[in-house]
Amino acid sequence: MRVLMIAPPGAGKGTQGAVVAEHFGLDRITIGDLLRRNVAEDTELGRRVQPTLARGELVPDDIVLELTRQGLAAAKAAGRGYVLDGVPRTMAQALAAYRIGLRLRMTADVALHLAADDDELLRRLLNRAGTEHRADDNEPVIRQRLRFYREVTEPVLQFYARRRILLTVDAQRPLEAVSADVIAALRERAAGLAPR
Ligand code: AP5
């Protein structure tokens, strides 16, 4: 199974992505983590993207699409599916990721959308700010990330609805309840997928 995760900041892409990857034996491609790891390791890429991450803005497409291509290629080489967390954020990224998938014969068969409202998401991320100290977890930057998601990323869901691969789960509930629904919905979807 090949899963894209599309959800606002704080909805649980990282949390549920780990659960899904573990449950179905999929590779996890987590763009935000890869970028933050480069910052922590002070690589050339990390130095380039650090200010953008701290502002909660998008890093250039060429960087995230190359990370996406590498992740999909590694999953293909390992003979596994994947959970891709972080791409797409824009319609241009959705089309580019689709083209990468076509070239590798690794296009997504599920776009998993986790739905939650902004008040809940702000609460979760401010809560995390107290323990994890992510550079983008402060109120003005969280509000900017949420605004960008609502204005630019959320409309991209229509692309996946038209391709009939969109799966929406209510993520505004306790973590375990969300995981149970996500797994059940993906199992049902997997049962309907032709083997390949
Ligand atoms: P990224 O790391 O993807 O950040 P994000 O989208 O803002 O999402 P978060 O990681 O904050 O939240 P999440 O949905 O993963 O939720 P989580 O499971 O962590 O991206 C960071 C940055 O990288 C971007 O701002 C951008 O600069 C750059 N970037 C990434 N992709 C890019 C792209 N394609 N193009 C350009 N730039 C890109 O959970 C959040 C918190 O809530 C945790 O504390 C968790 O324990 C808690 N929680 C989760 N579920 C629940 C629940 N059900 N109930 C209560 N608490 C919960």
Mean pLDDT (whole number) for 112-126: 98
**Per-residue pLDDT tens for 32-46?**
999 999 999 999 999
Q: What percent of the chain has pLDDT over 70?
A: 98
Per-residue pLDDT reduced to its tens digit, 44-87: 999 999 999 999 999 999 999 999 999 999 999 999 999 999 99
Q: What is each CA distance from 162 to 128, 155, 156, 166, in whole angstroms?
A: 35, 12, 10, 8
Question: 5-19 pLDDT, tens per residue?
Answer: 999 999 999 999 999
Question: Across all residues in the chain, what is the average pLDDT?
Answer: 96
pLDDT over 90 at 196, yes or no: no
Rounded Cα–Cα distance for residues 115 and 120 (Å): 11
Ligand 1 pocket check: which of 3, 5, 6, 15 to mutate, most ligand atoms within 8 Å of Cβ?
Answer: 15
pTM above 0.75, yes or no: yes
Is the separation of the CB atoms in 23 and 174 below 8 Å? no
Location of structure tokens 């630019």: 152
Q: From 3, 4, 13, 136, give the residue whose CB has the most ligand 1 atoms within 8 Å, as the site to mutate.
A: 13
Distance (angstroms) between ligand 1 centre and the Cα of 15 equals 9
Residue 97: per-residue pLDDT: 98
Q: What is the pLDDT of residue 164?
A: 96
